[in-house]
Amino acid sequence: MPRWKALPDELDPQVKEFASQLRRLVDRSGLSIAAVADRTGYSKTSWERYLNGRLLAPKGAIVALAEVTGTNPVHLTTMWELAERAWSRAEMRHDMTMEAIRISQARAALGEFGGDAGPGADGASRAAGAPGAGRGGGRTAATPSVIPPDGGPNGPAPRGPARHGRGTPGPAAPAAPAPAGRGGGKRKATMFVAGVAGALLVIVAAVLLMDLGGGGDGDGGGKTVAQSPAASPTTGSPDPLPAGVKCTGTDCTGQDPETMGCGGQYATTVSSAAVGTAKVEVRYSKTCGAAWARITQAAPGDTVRITSAGATQNGAVKIDKDAYTPMVAAADADAAKACATLATGTEGCTTTG
């Protein structure tokens, strides 16, 4: 029986309950985590994370575990859906917290960027620009409350040079804060617009570069257009891979089937054979176009290999009673053959179609 670690306290109660149910299923089956990994097609490391609450198991792994342990997959999937919603809510709360932090940081950065453009930062330069203040209707309406008694006869005085403490045209100095504050806002707006425009230019340049790199053969003159029909079938023919599947065909050769997403719901046993007390199987994934060999009820020292179209991959039993090989590319389910050699010297293979 595995000795389970305590589940994290911060886990949602529904996720914690689901992880506990998975542990009970594994305990009742009598299988080790390594055996569960081999029979479900998901790695031992992944199952340790699932069973210790560090990661929510994908639906494919749950269905595979139900098959291995003889559990009703409908009931187990129902409990998984509840745990998946709780897990998603926790992730959403985390994302919202991180987004709030990023927004606060962005606001602070923008405030620091435009903070020196206030009314008092360069008052002298603002005052020098005051002659325009008397020309706007809104600004001249405010001047009577600040014109000193000796400035009344000089009606055009606000349009003269506004220099604090020099000459009689004093009204221009009190009028300076209004242009300064508005000028600071305009400067911030100008800087913001310039930044947005720069970002748009970068995006447009990237799109243009992508078009030049990937679509040149189809958008050019007569010669390139003539070549495009030969290229289109190869670029448009492959179907998109399901989520989690990372390879197909020869790209899968030498890769671990669980790591590349080819095991679990995407794999089936297409042939098998008894070799002494052990059982050797060919596992095939049509989605990945690849096959691998699996040996069960084996002993340490037993070996297993998979062969397809001249390519061979080997595996060996070390501590557990099960083992599987890396993948080889296989055009169809009958193209691969699995063989086992026991430590006692007994050998045997599956038959191909």
CATH number, position 92: 1.10.260.40
On whether residue 227 sits in a domain, the answer given is no
- Asked if 253 contacts 327 with a C-beta cutoff of 8 angstroms, the reply is yes
Residue 141 falls inside a structural domain = no
181, 122 contact by CB (below 8 A): no
Residue 199 lies in a domain: no
Predicted confidence at residue 205, as pLDDT, reads 59
Flag whether 153 is in a domain: no
| CA nearest neighbour of 285 among 294, 276, 277 | 294
pLDDT (tens digit per residue) in 122-137:
444 444 444 444 444 4
Residue 172: per-residue pLDDT? 45
Which tens digits make up the pLDDT trace of 141-158? 444 444 444 444 444 444
First-to-last C-alpha distance (Å) of the chain: 41
Q: Which residues pair with 304 in a beta bridge?
A: 315, 340
DSSP string, 50-77: HHTTSSPPPHHHHHHHHHHHT--HHHHH
pLDDT value of position 108: 82
Instruction: Work out the percent of the chain whose per-residue pLDDT is above 70.
Output: 61
- Please say if the pLDDT value at position 225 is more than 60: no
Cβ count near 121 (within 10 Å)? 12
Last residue of a domain, one of 115, 139, 162: 115
Q: Quick one: tokens of 110?
A: 């923008």
**Domain-embedded: residue 120:** no
**3-class DSSP state for residue 202?**
helix
Range of the domain at 83: 1-115
pLDDT score recorded for residue 210: 52
Amino acid at 258: E
Quote the percentage of the chain above a pLDDT of 90: 26
Cβ neighbours for 276, distance < 8 A, ≥ 6 positions apart: 342, 344, 346, 348
Per the model's pLDDT, the better-predicted residue between 98 and 285 turns out to be 285
Number of residues written out for the chain: 353
Element (H, E) at 341: strand 336-341
**125 is a domain residue:** no
pLDDT at 209: 53
Question: Which of 115, 150, 183 is the endpoint of a domain?
Answer: 115
pLDDT, tens digit (0-9, with 9 covering 90-100), for 47-62:
998 998 888 889 999 8
Average pLDDT in the 213-232 region? 40
| Helix, strand, or coil (residue 315) | strand
Which of the listed residues 115, 147, 165 is the one where a domain comes to its end?
115
Residue 336's pLDDT is what? 92
Q: Please count the structural domains in the chain.
A: 2
- Residue 298 belongs to some domain of the structure: yes
Q: How far apart are CA 150 and CA 170, in angstroms?
A: 9
Task: Assess if residue 150 is contained within a domain.
Answer: no
The highest-confidence range among 138-147, 183-192, 193-202, by mean pLDDT, is 193-202
